[in-house]
Amino acid sequence: MNVDKQTYKKYVASRAPASPLVKDMFLAFVTGGAICAFAEGLYNFYLFIKIEEETVRTLVPVTIVFLASLSTGLGVFDSLAKFAGAGTLVPITGFSNAVISPALDDKSEGLVMGVGAKMFTISGPVIVYGVISSVIYGVIYWLMGVLL
């Protein structure tokens, strides 16, 4: 090809169709909002059936994680996520799906090296850097308490 790599890259980028951002953002807003509204409903429901508020705060995410895992196992989560995009990825549903989907796939390699080892291939980095950043914030918080 008588073009250099940079020109070719620019040409490729210019002709590639872009993702439909407005539609994607709208669907993410609606579905993500719906999931959060549902969780809020659950919160009120648990309070209504006289569960203690502190327990409810744990019970709501546990329920949402369970429902996302179940729908992943039933094979519906990915079809929903195809339309919802960030709407299902950003809430805790996305994290649940990221743990369960490799676990389902890799069960063919056994419970130890398959499910056990590969379950965290997607969510692993989130956990590692989540923990590291919480430590850093903790140190900053402590320093502020000491200095101010």
Contacting positions for other proteins (CB under 8 A): 1, 5-6, 8-9, 11-12, 15-19, 24, 72-73, 75, 77-78, 80-82, 84-85, 88-89, 94, 97-98, 100-102, 104-106, 108, 122
SS3 35: helix
- Beta carbons within 10 angstroms of residue 68's beta carbon: 25
Residue closer to other proteins (CB basis): 64 or 94: 94
Cβ within 8 Å of residue 83, ≥6 positions away: 27, 31
CA dihedral 31, 32, 34, 39 (to 10 degrees): 150
Residue closer to other proteins (CB basis): 43 or 83: 83
Residue closer to other proteins (CB basis): 65 or 80: 80
- Cα–Cα distance for residue pair 70/9, rounded to 1 Å: 42
Q: Residue 76 CB, nearest distance to other proteins (Å)? A: 9
Residue closer to other proteins (CB basis): 27 or 60: 27
SS3 75: coil
Q: Residue 101 CB, nearest distance to other proteins (Å)? A: 4
- Cα–Cα distance for residue pair 63/85, rounded to 1 Å: 21
Q: Residue 82 CB, nearest distance to other proteins (Å)? A: 6
Q: Residue 79 CB, nearest distance to other proteins (Å)? A: 8
